[in-house]
Structure 1
C-alpha cells in the first residue's frame, strides 16, 4: 500500500492528454469498416478488377496486424510520442491520397500506408497511457476510456460513413481523418510527455522484418482459408509465416539486446492475459460479423439501418468499459472477467434464439448484452498486459496486446465464418442450386418468394448454431479465467493489478 501511495495521481492535464489520445483510437476502428460502405461508388469510379477491389478492402487490416508489434518496439526505442506524431502525420497524408485516388493501384497503396500509420498509432496511444497514469487505479480508468474510444469509433463509423456518402462523394469518408490528425499534431507536443528506453540500442531491422512477415503470413493464411477454404496459396503463406517466426526467435536468442524480449511470455500474468484476450476477441469479432450479416441479409436492413440497429451495442460496450475499473476492486480482476464472460454467454444464447425466430428487437438486446459483458474482459486484460511489464517495454506490450486482438478476431471470423457457410449449405440441401449461389446473391434484393425465405431460414439456422457455439466458448472462457487465477498462486498476481 505504501508503494501505491508514493505513485502520483492523475490530474487535469493527464486526463486532457487522455482525451487527445482517444481521438486516433476512434479513427483506428472507424477506418476498419468505413470503406465497406463506399465500395459500390468507389468501384464505379475507379473501375478496379475483382482482385484489386479485394485488396482495397483487405490491405489496411493486413498491414495493420503485421506491423503492430514492430511499431510497439520502435516506440520503446525511438520515443512513443515521436512515433505517435509521425503516425498521425502519415495517417493524415495517406487519407488525403486515398480521398483523391484516381486509380485502383493508387488506392491500394494509400490504404497500405494508412494501415502502417495506424499500426504506429494504436500501440503508441496504449503505451503512453502507462506513462501518463502510473497509479493502477488511474491506469485502469484510462484504459477503460481507451477501450471505449475504439468501441465508439466502431459504432459511429457506419453512421458517419453512411451520412457522408448520402450527401458527398466517396472520398469524404477519408477526409474526416484530417482534422482529427491535425488536432493531435497540434496538441500532442504540448500535452504528451516523451518516453522511451534510453538504454536500448537502435532497433534491429532484420528482426522487425522477420516479425512482420511472420504475422502477415499468418493473418493472410487465416483470412484466405475463411474466404476460399484451404488452398495452396494459404499453405504457402502459413509455411512462410512459420519459417519467419522460427528464424525470428533464433535471432532474438543471438542478439545481446533482443528486438522483442521473449522473457515477457515467462510471466504467467502476462501470458494468461494475452490468452484470455485472444479468446475474447475470437467470439467478439466472429459474432460482430455474423450479426451484421443477419441484420442485412436475414432481416433485409440497409447498411445505414443496420448501423443504426447496431449502435446501441456500441453504447453498451462503452458503458461496460468505463464501469469495469469501478467494479474490479469488488470482484477482483479475474472475477470481473469471469462474470463478463458469463454475461456475454447469455447474450450469445439470446442471439441464437433471435436468429431462429427472426426477432429484430431480441437480436439488438442480445447484441447489447454480449457487448456489455465482453467490454470488462477486454479492459481488464489490456490493463494486466500493460501493467505486468517494465515501463521500458510498454510499447512492445501494447503492440502484443493489439496483435492478439487482431489474431483472435481473425481466427474467430475464419472459424465462425466457415461454420456459418457449412450449416447454411446443409440447411439448403433441398435447394442445391440455391446452396451453390453466393450468399449475397441468394439473399440479395433480386431474390424473392420461396427461395428467399428458404435462404433466410438457412442463414438463421447457421447464425443460431454459431451463436450457441460462442456461448459455450464464453462459458469456457469464464472457467479458464478462474482456473488460471487459482493456479500456482496466480490469483494474487492478477488481482494485484
Structure 2
C-alpha cells in the first residue's frame, strides 16, 4: 500500500446539498432493495403466464441477489478507482435498461437472464451509494444518521417490495413490477448529475482481475451446488462445485494478503466490531428475507389475499424498519454497539417464533404484531452493524468497505432464499398427503409447488387444501429455524462486538489497523 501519511480534514457539517444528495442515494438504494423482494407477490401471476418450474422460480427469485453478491466486492473497488459518482450513473442507466427487458420477458429463461443483468447493474450502484454517503458526511454524528437512513432505505425497501408489487399487480400485469424502475432511475441519473460530487481514491492503483474472478467463482460455485441439490438431487457435481467454491475462496483470501492494493483488506476482519458486524448483517437479512419470500406466498395462496392486500399485511415490518432511524441513537447510547445489535437479533428471533405460531391462526392480528417485532429487530441490528463496518475503514477505502457491508446484505438475501427455500420445499413435499387415486399429472403439479398446484388444479379444492397445509408447515418450520439462527447470532454479537467505545482506524506503516477510542 502507499505509505504516504494521510492527513484527514476536520469534520465539516453537511448542508442542504449533502442531505439532498443523500435523498438521491436513498432512492437508488430503495429501488434496488424493492427489486429484491417485489417479485414475491408476483409469483402466482408469473407462474400463470410463463409457467416456470419450482427450481426456475427459485432462480428468478434469487439470481438477482447472487449476481449482486458476486460482483459487489469488485464493483466497490472499481468505484474507488474510477469514481463513485461515475459508476453510480453508469449502473443506474444499465439498471433501467435491464428492468425493461425483465418486464417484457416471455419465457422463464429470458426472465432469469434479465434478473442476472439487473444484478450486474445493481452491483455497480450499491457500493457507490454507501461509499458516497460515507464521504459526504465527515461529521461522525451526521454520518451515523446518514448511514441509519441508508440502512432504513435498504431494509425498508425490501419490506416495501411486496406492497409496491401488490399495488401494481392489482391493476397491471406482473411485468409492471420491473417497468416502474425505468422512470425512477431516470430521476436518479438526472438528480445525481446535479447534486452528487465525484469522489475516488487517488492512490487506488489497478483493479486486480484475478481477485475479481476468484471472488465471483467462490460465490457462484457454492450457490450452484445448493441449487443443483434442490432441483436435481445430490450427485457428483454438488461436492465438486462446493470444493471449487471453497478452493476459490481460499485462494482469494491468500491473494488479498499478498497484494499491496487488495480488493478486501482482510486485516479489517481482525477487528471484533468489524467481523462480528459483518456476520450479524448477513444472518439478520438471511432470516428476514428467507422467511418473507414464502410468507408473501402464504398470504395469497393459503389465506386467499389479493396481491395488494398481502402487501398491506406486510406493512408492519416496513413501518418498524423506518421507526428504527429514530431510536437507534438511543439504543447505541444506552446499550453500546454489541449489546444493541444482540438485542435487535434476539428481538427478531422472538418475532419469528411468534410468526410460526400465528401462521396457523385464521386471523391476521397475531402475524401483524410478529412482523412489526421482526422489522424492528432486523432494522436495529442492520443499522448498527452497517455503521460499524463502514466506519472501520478510512475514507479513501470507502467503496471497498461499503462493498463488504453490501456483500453481507446481498449474500444473506440470496442464501436466505436458497437455503431456507430448500428447507421449505423439503418440508412441503414431505408433509404432502396426496390420495392414491390422484393422477400422475396432478400429483406432479402438487409435488412441484403450491403455486403450480393452484394454477393447474383450480377445480380440486380438497387437493389444494392438502397442499396449503403442507405449505404452512413449511413456512412455520423455516421460521423456527431462522429464529434459532438469530439467537445464535445474538449470542455471538454479544460476545465479540465491543459495547464500550467505537471502532475506528489508523494508519501505521501503510496498513489499516483497528483501534478502540
Task: State yes or no: 1:87 paired with 2:91.
Answer: yes
Deviations 1:338-389 (A, max 9, x none): 2212322221221121023343221122111111111100000000000011
Deviations 1:306-345 (A, max 9, x none): 2221122211122124431343222212222122123222
Task: State yes or no: 1:274 paired with 2:278.
Answer: yes
Of residues 298, 302, 305 in structure 2, which corresponds to 1:298? 302
Using the alignment, how far apart are the partners of 2:114 and 2:99 within structure 1? 7
Structure 1 residues 378 and 228 mapped into 2: Cα distance closer, same or farther (>3 Å)? Answer: farther
C-alpha contact 1:278 1:408 (8 A) present in aligned 2 = yes
Task: State yes or no: 1:230 paired with 2:234.
Answer: yes
Using the alignment, how far apart are the partners of 1:474 and 1:43 within structure 2? 32
Of residues 434, 437, 448 in structure 1, which corresponds to 2:447? 437
Structure 1 residues 494 and 377 mapped into 2: Cα distance closer, same or farther (>3 Å)? Answer: farther
Task: Report the equivalent of 1:484.
Answer: 496
Task: Report the more deviating stretch, 82-91 or 168-177.
Answer: 168-177
Task: Report the equivalent of 2:401.
Answer: 397
C-alpha contact 1:222 1:411 (8 A) present in aligned 2 = no
Task: Report the more deviating stretch, 108-117 or 75-84.
Answer: 108-117
Task: Report the equivalent of 2:202.
Answer: 198
C-alpha contact 1:145 1:322 (8 A) present in aligned 2 = no
SS at match of 1:137: helix
Task: Report the equivalent of 1:288.
Answer: 292
C-alpha contact 1:443 1:455 (8 A) present in aligned 2 = no
Task: Report the equivalent of 1:221.
Answer: 225
C-alpha contact 2:302 2:468 (8 A) present in aligned 1 = yes
CA RMSD of aligned residues (A): 3.4
Using the alignment, how far apart are the partners of 1:471 and 1:227 within structure 2? 26
Q: TM-score, normalised by structure 2?
A: 0.84
Using the alignment, how far apart are the partners of 1:42 and 1:460 within structure 2? 21
Using the alignment, how far apart are the partners of 2:208 and 2:389 within structure 1? 24
Task: State yes or no: 1:465 paired with 2:477.
Answer: yes
Task: State yes or no: 1:119 paired with 2:123.
Answer: yes
C-alpha contact 1:80 1:196 (8 A) present in aligned 2 = yes
Task: Report the more deviating stretch, 175-184 or 72-81.
Answer: 175-184
After superposition, residues 6-85 of structure 1 pair within 5 angstroms as 6-35=10-39, 58-85=62-89
Using the alignment, how far apart are the partners of 1:105 and 1:438 within structure 2? 18
Specify every segment of 5 or more residues in structure 2 that has no aligned partner in the other structure, as ranges.
Answer: 1-6, 505-515
Task: Report the more deviating stretch, 290-299 or 47-56.
Answer: 47-56
Task: State yes or no: 1:332 paired with 2:336.
Answer: yes
Q: TM-score, normalised by structure 1?
A: 0.87
Of residues 131, 135, 140 in structure 2, which corresponds to 1:131? 135
Structure 1 residues 55 and 336 mapped into 2: Cα distance closer, same or farther (>3 Å)? Answer: closer
C-alpha contact 1:214 1:245 (8 A) present in aligned 2 = yes
Q: Higher helix proportion, which one? A: 1
C-alpha contact 1:141 1:322 (8 A) present in aligned 2 = no
Task: Report the equivalent of 2:513.
Answer: none
Using the alignment, how far apart are the partners of 1:219 and 1:427 within structure 2? 26
Task: State yes or no: 1:184 paired with 2:188.
Answer: yes
Structure 1 residues 413 and 325 mapped into 2: Cα distance closer, same or farther (>3 Å)? Answer: same
Task: Report the more deviating stretch, 447-456 or 277-286.
Answer: 447-456
Structure 1 residues 172 and 458 mapped into 2: Cα distance closer, same or farther (>3 Å)? Answer: closer
Deviation at 1:476, TM superposition (A): 2.7
SS at match of 2:38: helix
C-alpha contact 1:358 1:460 (8 A) present in aligned 2 = no
C-alpha contact 2:339 2:494 (8 A) present in aligned 1 = yes
Task: Report the equivalent of 1:252.
Answer: 256
Using the alignment, how far apart are the partners of 1:478 and 1:391 within structure 2? 29
Using the alignment, how far apart are the partners of 1:465 and 1:51 within structure 2? 20
Structure 1 residue ranges, 4+ long, deviating more than 6 angstroms after superposition: 39-54, 102-105, 432-436
Deviation at 1:169, TM superposition (A): 5.0
Deviation at 1:102, TM superposition (A): 7.0
Task: Report the more deviating stretch, 357-366 or 222-231.
Answer: 222-231
Task: Report the equivalent of 1:153.
Answer: 157
Using the alignment, how far apart are the partners of 2:487 and 2:46 within structure 1? 42
Task: State yes or no: 1:313 paired with 2:317.
Answer: yes
Task: Report the more deviating stretch, 41-50 or 58-67.
Answer: 41-50
Specify every segment of 5 or more residues in structure 1 that has no aligned partner in the other structure, as ranges.
Answer: none
